[in-house]
Amino acid sequence: MATTSKGENILSLLLVINGLEAEKLSEILEQLKNDSKNIGSHKQRVLYWNAYSAIIPRLSSITGKVNAFITYHTVSDPDEDGKADIIELTKKQRHALAHGGLELMGKKTKSLDENSKGWVIVYGEDDAVTAWEDIHFAEPCIYMTSSAVFVGTRFKRKQCKSIGTCKTVKEFEKLMSEIQPSLQSIDWNKQNVPTINDYNTFICGTWSAAILGTLNADSIGHSKDSIPSSVYAMFLERRSKFFIREAERLIDLMLTDVNKGESKPLVSASSMKEAGIARKNSLMKKVFVHESKKVFIDNQKKDGGDVELYVITGNISGTRFHEYGGIVFEMFYRVDLSLFG
């Protein structure tokens, strides 16, 4: 189970419900509650039992079909009860799941009633937080199998175009030239069609030796399978490598200023204190930061604003980005940060 500091709420169970009648949903959750007696550790059994016990009564006042997230938050204090909340999907989100071709990854549990077409997916423990973040905020990648083009993240995807088998380099080049206009948004909150860039595009599975032999690995990745979680893991790895290269370009700019004896730098690295000063005083233009700097990242997300935030995930050891503390940022103009104390 995901852990947290004392008294802090943490998302421990996430349900996504698509078009299930409230009565049918209650029946499914009662069965899942009973099944939870036989899962995992005692701690897990208690979590799922308490979660379903808190969720099911909330459905008694609902009539008709449910299209919603249901969240269950716990706290580290064992004397405090968890809390269930129902967050209704917007019209756009309901349409995306029911008619818009958006697919969520996870085990879909359906009613035994054949006339009921709805389903519920349950994400538990660490997957609950990961799925929530992914569905709402994750940057999508673009990938091609031998038969289709998809836009996807770890937990959601959409087929944008059916394609035929490419055997020659010329056919592949033609395919690549036609992909961008066919791409569609899977953004949970707004219309945001992805654009092909140097790290977000992949081919998956078996392709001809001619195509693989001419593939520019710096621009297009190759995943041996098309499992969304595998493709997205490769995407995150490629994105981090790209971000590290960009961060190290900023480090080069900083070192050039240092060698010139510049007292008012445009770029700074290593110091979380200076990063905090630049953030609080609206001096920061863009920042590359490792995921381990969670407090800084959370504060920047809360602030919002115009700062370009690039979070680098995974292992960074052996990189200059790591040597310079896992954070580097560029400011809007040259400034001596020591003046801001």
At 280, the amino acid letter reads K
Q: Reduce the DSSP state of residue 13 to 3 states and report it.
A: strand
Q: pLDDT (tens digit, 9 = 90+) per residue, 63-102?
A: 999 999 999 999 877 678 899 999 999 999 999 999 989 9
Q: pLDDT (tens digit, 9 = 90+) per residue, 252-282?
A: 999 999 999 988 999 999 899 999 999 999 9
Angle at which helix 272-280 crosses helix 294-303, to 10 degrees, equals: 10
Domain boundaries, the chain: 10-136, 138-226, 240-340
C-alpha span between 131 and 2 (Å, rounded) = 13
Residue 341 confidence (pLDDT): 64
The phi, psi pair for 306, rounded to 5°, reads -100, 5
Stretch (H or E) spanning 103: strand 102-104
pTM confidence score? 0.88
For the structural domain made of 10-136, what CATH number should be given?
A: 3.30.960
Residue 114 confidence (pLDDT): 80
At 173, the amino acid letter reads E
Q: pLDDT (tens digit, 9 = 90+) per residue, 9-22?
A: 899 999 999 999 99
Q: pLDDT (tens digit, 9 = 90+) per residue, 233-251?
A: 999 999 999 999 999 999 9
Long-range own/partner contacts, residues 209-218 (CB < 8 A, 24 or more apart): 210/167, 210/168, 210/169, 211/166, 211/167, 211/168, 211/169, 211/172, 214/169
CATH number belonging to the domain at 240-340, selected among 3.30.1330.30, 3.40.50.300, 3.10.180.10, 3.30.1490.480:
3.30.1330.30
